[in-house]
A and B are shown apart, each in its own frame.
Chain A
Amino acid sequence: MPEKLSFDKVELDYELPSLIRHVTQELITKNACASLDFNPIHVDPVWAKEVNLFGVGKTIAHGMMTMTFLGQLITDWCYADGGKLKSMDVKLIWPVFPDDTITCKGKVVAKHPRDKGQSFVDLEISAENQDGQNVAVGKAEVILP
């Protein structure tokens, strides 16, 4: 059994276990159904080609799927121990295309001691593709027990 996560024990510069997700058109369309976001930009390769989307004519994955992967990075890390996401502020800076592989990373960069149950940490979070290009960068605040 790994030691239970707590605000007191977590150290600055701690890096969360990374999370890797392979994106395909099949997954994007499945995510469209799951999220009820059926924008043709995500689900319609025929249209993407016709309108020459991003000058490359390909669909892109939902930015909210990337943000959800970043959310999972955090929920996998701390939710079973009673951690809780307080906020996320993420910039999506590069498109995610079908057949990309996305790696999500997070690091503890600040600790905010508060009354019991309210203490939280700041995480620097990012997601990069298989070429090492960041696709998303941002910050999350996470309450830790």
Chain B
Amino acid sequence: MMQTSKDARALIEKYLKTEKQKSFRYDFFVDESKYEKWEDVKIGQEGMAERSFEVKMEDILAYLDGTLDNNPLFRDEEFAKKTPWGGLVAPPLLLVPIIFWCTGTGSGSWIRTPGAINPGQKIEFYEPIRVGDTITIKAEAYDKYVKRGKKYLTYLSEFRNQRGQLVAKWWGTLILPTSRSDEKHRLI
């Protein structure tokens, strides 16, 4: 079985700071055989992601630091209070760690496929996310297709908060490789 290399692991472990990061199964090779495959996805199938994401300030700060975002609206409570937002909010793309946290090795696990390529994404944003929110995801297999020989898969993920309010709709697409992770990388 493939493993994330020693050098890569050393650099990763330097930056694992939050509770979620430290408990996360970060070696995407390990459960590879369990991930959903393009061939197995049935369009229209729906499912709740395996777990929810409880938003902590450390999750937001980690995302800001990992994307070089210094906007005080997301970090500085005093500043944020004076804006029309009335207090801190999360940056809109906090959806990224949320979806990777909530998705395990079951429904939607194809997003962990080693060698998958991101060709572009469409996201609609509704209610903002704030510290203390608990976000859940319902995902629907939305489309799969072959284009110029490459295999595309799209899920529509609906993010909701603990009040049931819609937070975001994300049409997430990846090109899934046709090679195994121990072979020369191929998309066709």
Contacts and interface: CB of A to CB of B under 8 A. Distances in A.
Q: Answer yes or no: are A and B bound together in one complex.
A: yes
B123 interface: yes
B161 to A, nearest CB: 16
Given A41-B115, A47-B5, A54-B185, A36 B93 contact: no
A62 B24 CA distance: 18
Contact of B67 (A31, A53, A81): A31
A145 B85 CA distance: 12
Nearest to A32: B12
Contacts of A86: 124-125
A79 B73 contact: yes
A13 interface: no
Interface string B70-97: 0111100001000111000001110011
A32 to B, nearest CB: 7
Contact of B93 (A51, A71, A138, A145): A71
B99 to A, nearest CB: 9
Given A45-B7, A64-B96, A67-B121, A33 B185 contact: no
B11 A29 contact: yes
A30 B179 contact: no
Contacts of B7: 45-46
B42 interface: no
A43 B92 contact: no
A71 B29 CA distance: 30
A75 B73 contact: yes
Top 10 A-B residue pairs of the complex, sorted by shortest distance between their CB atoms: A34-B66, A82-B84, A63-B118, A36-B100, A46-B5, A91-B120, A44-B8, A33-B15, A51-B185, A38-B26
Interface of A: 21, 25-27, 29-41, 43-47, 51-54, 62-65, 67-69, 71-72, 75-76, 79-82, 84-93, 136, 138, 145
12 contacts: A31-B67, A37-B96, A39-B28, A40-B8, A41-B116, A51-B115, A53-B115, A64-B96, A64-B118, A71-B92, A71-B93, A82-B83
Interface of B: 2, 4-5, 7-8, 11-12, 14-17, 20-21, 24, 26-29, 62-63, 65-69, 71-74, 79, 83-85, 91-93, 96-97, 100-101, 112-125, 128, 179, 181-185
